[in-house]
Amino acid sequence: MPPFRPAFTRRAILAGGAAILAAPLVGCSQSTVPVAGAPPAGRLRETRIGGQAITLTAQEHPLTLGGRSGATPTWLYGEELFPVLRLKRDESLEVTLQNQLSEHTSIHWHGVRVPNAMDGVPYVTQMPVKPGENFTYRFTPPGSGTYFFHPHCNTSVQLGRGLSGVLIVEDGDPQYDDDVVVVLKDWRLAEDGSFLPFLTAEGAGRSGTYGTLRTVNGMVAPEIVVPPEALVRLRLLNLDSTRVGDIGFQGADASLLAVDGNLLAPQPLENWRLGPGMRIDVAVLTPAAGGRVSLVDFFAAEPVILATFVAAGAPPRREVTEFEDRIAFSEPDLSGELRQLRLSASAVPTDYAGLAPIVLPDGSTIDLLDSLCSTSRTMWAIDGKPWPQNGHEHLPPPLLDLKRGQSVQIELVNTTPHLHPMHLHGHIFKVLSSSKLQRPLHWADTVLVMPEERVQIAFVADNPGNWMIHCHIIEHQDTGMMAWFRVT
Ligand code: C2O
Ligand code: CU
């Protein structure tokens, strides 16, 4: 069990912060964005892209991870793990994906309510970006938040090899003394640094295949220097394909600020069950210089220290301003009927032959999926329907056909003995209630459904297009627990 921590409320944050300081803050956000050279120890390189076009080259690049004897043939956007792109709210993004991999790929902007044509799902929102080809993503994120991006076919392999990055849309609040991105990801590595199989029959049919090396920002238990006696914002992202953590802190009070990038009234954080695809933003009051704060996963019997924040340097001197609680989503109308979606195991392939082809946002129509985007083994289903199996490569019919502006209430019913972090594209939903895991009312794009649990969510279908709904345990996604819905 984690130790008891006193409540760390909104009032406490403001009072605690205010006690620290005096003069206005000068450019604290710049400090986390190095211009050149290596990023500070334990941190990822960050790039400010507001209004400025950039290229991400998907490529194989050897890296040594976790002190393995040989290099690991990672797949990266560029030459470093997890590029962090930062925008300010209302700034536009223009990213050209250049594919130098040996297979097709795309970029999905997880959690961002993008126009459908920018959602990066091969055969559902765009054609795959083949080796040697480019595709340019252009949109203005509609709200602030902590997001990430990754490919969307053969994801076990592509994400398993590291292909992913972080997108931060800042809410423009200057009240933090530091802002640290913390990416959790395990790696399926042999002793010589080569990759072990990403998808195994035993793993895919159960809770997924776990990595052999746990990292934070690509490092094993890194130490990350933060200012002392300061209010620090940590953005925690679970980019692992499999592992669910109970994430908490030792050595400092922490307050939950946002779930999946969506601000909520700050509340004390004990620990948060963070499944693949999920994110939380946390404020931590750091100790005096020399003090240490541990980021801990309490999920297993033995808690695991994932990273340590070391307070060093001079305390900041500045004014703390109010939090801006900004929930800019349409409130769903909860008077309608509740639609159940059952998450289940499946052995029966469905024959989708003879269905009408779907029309992509660019007007092209597609009929058949290829082997990277269909599964060779169906193990899971949503509502009894698995994503197509090889040999049945027609896209299945939409799970839901929704009218634009319609409120939708869904009960996710987990009939399996495994956890499923369920993710919806293009929309943010309100998590209304759940039968097992306690959680505050919050907005999310991914919600963990515990074994045998029922979770009720609701949203307004306000973004037209073809959108995915799937489990973010990638082996479940890649073996059938995937569907799509249409908003017209
Ligand atoms: Cu993060 Cu459909 O995915
Ligand atoms: Cu699952």
CA distance to 7, 41, 222, per residue, from 217 (Å)? 29, 10, 8
CA dihedral defined by 278, 281, 287, 291, rounded to 10 degrees? 30
Provide, rounded to the nearest whole percent, the portion of the chain with pLDDT above 70: 88
Edge-to-edge strand ranges of the sheet holding 223-226: 223-226, 304-311, 292-297, 245-250, 271-274
Minimum-distance ligand to the CA of 111? Answer: 1
Q: Return the ligand number nearest the Cα of 242.
A: 2
User: Which residues' Cβ are closer than 6 Å to ligand 1?
Assistant: 108, 110, 150, 152, 277, 423, 425, 468, 470, 472
Q: Write the CB contacts of 433 (distance below 8 Å, at least 6 apart in sequence).
A: 455, 456
Residue 347: its pLDDT value, please?
59
Do 291 and 143 lie in a common domain?
A: yes
Report the pLDDT value the prediction gives residue 396, as an integer from 0 to 100: 84
From CA 438, how far away is CA 256, in angstroms rounded? 15
Q: How far apart are the first and last CA of the chain?
A: 48
Tokens standing for 72? 């690991």
307 and 358 co-located in one domain? no
Worst-scoring range by mean pLDDT, 16-20, 139-143, 376-380? 16-20
Q: What is the pLDDT of residue 32?
A: 35
CATH code, 269: 2.60.40.420
pLDDT score for 300: 85
How many whole angstroms from 239 Cα to the centroid of ligand 2?
Answer: 15
Ligand closest in space to the Cα of 424:
1
367 and 473 inside one domain: yes
325 pLDDT above the threshold of 60:
no
Print the SS3 string covering 84-101: EEEEECCCCEEEEEEECC
Cβ atoms of residues 279 and 233 within 8 Å: no
The three-state (H, E, C) secondary structure of the chain, written as one string? CCCCCCCCCHHHHHHHHHHHCCCCCCCCHHHHCCCCCCCCCCCCCEEECCCCCEEEEEEEEEECCCCCCCCEEEEEECCCCCCEEEEECCCCEEEEEEECCCCCECCEEECCCCCHHHCCCECCCECCECCCCEEEEEECCCCCEEEEEECCCCHHHHHHCCCCEEEEEECCCCCCCEEEEEEEEEECECCCCCECCCCCHHHHCCCCCCCCEEEECCECCCEEEECCCCEEEEEEEECCCCCCEEEEEECCCEEEEEECCEEEEEEECCEEEECCCCEEEEEEECCCCCCEEEEEECCCCCCEEEEEEEECCCCCCCCCCCCCCCCCCCCCCCCCCEEEEEEEECCCCCCCCCCCCEECCCCCEECECCCCCCECCCCEEECCECCCECCCCECCCCCEEECCCEEEEEEEEECCCCCEEEEECCCCEEEEEECCCCCCCEEECEEEECCCCEEEEEEEECCCEEEEEEECCHHHHHCCCEEEEEEC
Looking from the CA of residue 111, the nearest atom of ligand 1 is 1
* The ligand 1 atom nearest the CA atom of 152: 2
- Asked whether the predicted pLDDT for residue 19 surpasses 90, the reply is no
Mean local confidence (pLDDT), 145-161:
97
Question: What is the position in ligand 1's atom list of the atom closest to the CA of 110?
Answer: 1
Choice among 151-165, 291-305, 309-323 with the minimum mean pLDDT: 309-323
- pLDDT for 157 equals 97
pLDDT beyond 90 at 167: yes
pLDDT value for 7? 30
Residues 283 and 397 in one domain: no
Reported pTM? 0.91
How much of the chain, in percent, has pLDDT values that exceed 90? 73
pLDDT score recorded for residue 104: 98
Assess whether 143 and 278 both reside in one domain: yes
How many whole angstroms from 437 Cα to the centroid of ligand 1? 23
Q: Quick: pLDDT tens for 428-486.
A: 999 999 999 888 889 999 999 999 999 999 999 999 999 999 999 999 999 999 999 99
292 and 354, same domain (yes or no) = no
Query: What is residue 23's predicted lDDT score, i.e. its pLDDT?
Result: 28
Mean pLDDT of 280-284: 95
C-alpha 274 – ligand 2 centre gap (Å)? 14
Which tokens is 46 given? 């960050």
Are 303 and 394 within one domain?
no
Same domain for 260 and 364, yes or no, is no
pLDDT tens digits, 378-390: 899 999 888 877 7
Q: Which has the higher per-residue pLDDT, 279 or 323?
A: 279
Give the residue with greater pLDDT, 461 vs 7.
461
Shared domain check, 136 and 28: yes
What is the 336 CA–ligand 2 centroid distance (Å)? 27
Question: Where does a domain end: 296, 311, 326?
Answer: 311
Same domain, 305 and 445: no
**Ligand that comes closest to the CA of residue 346:** 2
Q: Whose CA is nearest to atom 1 of ligand 1?
A: 110
Average pLDDT, the chain: 88
Give a yes or no: residue 106 inside a domain: yes
Residues 251 and 392 grouped into a single domain: no
The structural domain count of the chain equals 2
Q: How far is the CA of 477 from the centre of ligand 2 (A)?
A: 7
Distance (angstroms) between ligand 1 centre and the Cα of 431 equals 18
Give nearest CA residue, ligand 1 atom 3: 110
Rounded Cα gap, residues 255 and 250, in angstroms: 13
Position 394 scores a pLDDT of 81
Nearest 5 degrees, angle CA 183-CA 49-CA 133?
85
Within 13 Å of residue 51, how many CA atoms lie on the same side as its CB? 4
Q: Which ligand is nearest to the CA of 419?
A: 2
- Predicted pLDDT of residue 10: 39
94 and 236 fall within a common domain? yes
Residue 138: strand pairing partners:
94
Q: Residue 440: exposed, middle, or buried by beta-carbon count in 10 A (0-12, 13-18, 19+)? A: exposed
The single residue listed with the structure tokens 């997001």 is 147
Boundary-marking domain end, from 259, 294, 311: 311
Ligand 1: nearest atom to the Cα of 277: 1
- What angle (nearest 5°) sits at the alpha carbon of residue 102, between those of residues 96 and 108? 40
Which residue range forms the structural domain that includes residue 262?
A: 10-311
pLDDT tens digits for range 91-137: 999 999 999 999 999 999 999 999 999 999 999 999 999 999 999 99
CA of 466 to the centre of ligand 1 (A): 14
pLDDT for residue 2 is more than 70: no
The pLDDT-based confidence of 27 (bands split at 50, 70, 90) is very low
**For 32-73, how does the pLDDT look when each residue is reduced to its tens digit (9 = 90+)?**
334 467 899 999 999 999 889 999 999 999 999 999 999 999
Q: Do residues 291 and 437 lie in contact, with contact meaning Cβ atoms separated by under 8 Å? A: no
Position 4 in a domain: no
Distance from Cα 11 to the centre of ligand 2, integer Å: 38
> Which atom, in ligand 1's list, is nearest to the CA of 150?
1
Phi-psi region of 387 (alpha: psi -120 to 50; beta: other; left: phi over 0): beta
| Per-residue confidence (pLDDT) for residue 209, from 0 to 100 | 96
Full 3-state SS string of 131-199: CCCEEEEEECCCCCEEEEEECCCCHHHHHHCCCCEEEEEECCCCCCCEEEEEEEEEECECCCCCECCCC
Question: Which atom belonging to ligand 1 lies closest to the Cα atom of 468?
Answer: 2
What token pair was written down for 97?
A: 């994906």
295 inside domain: yes
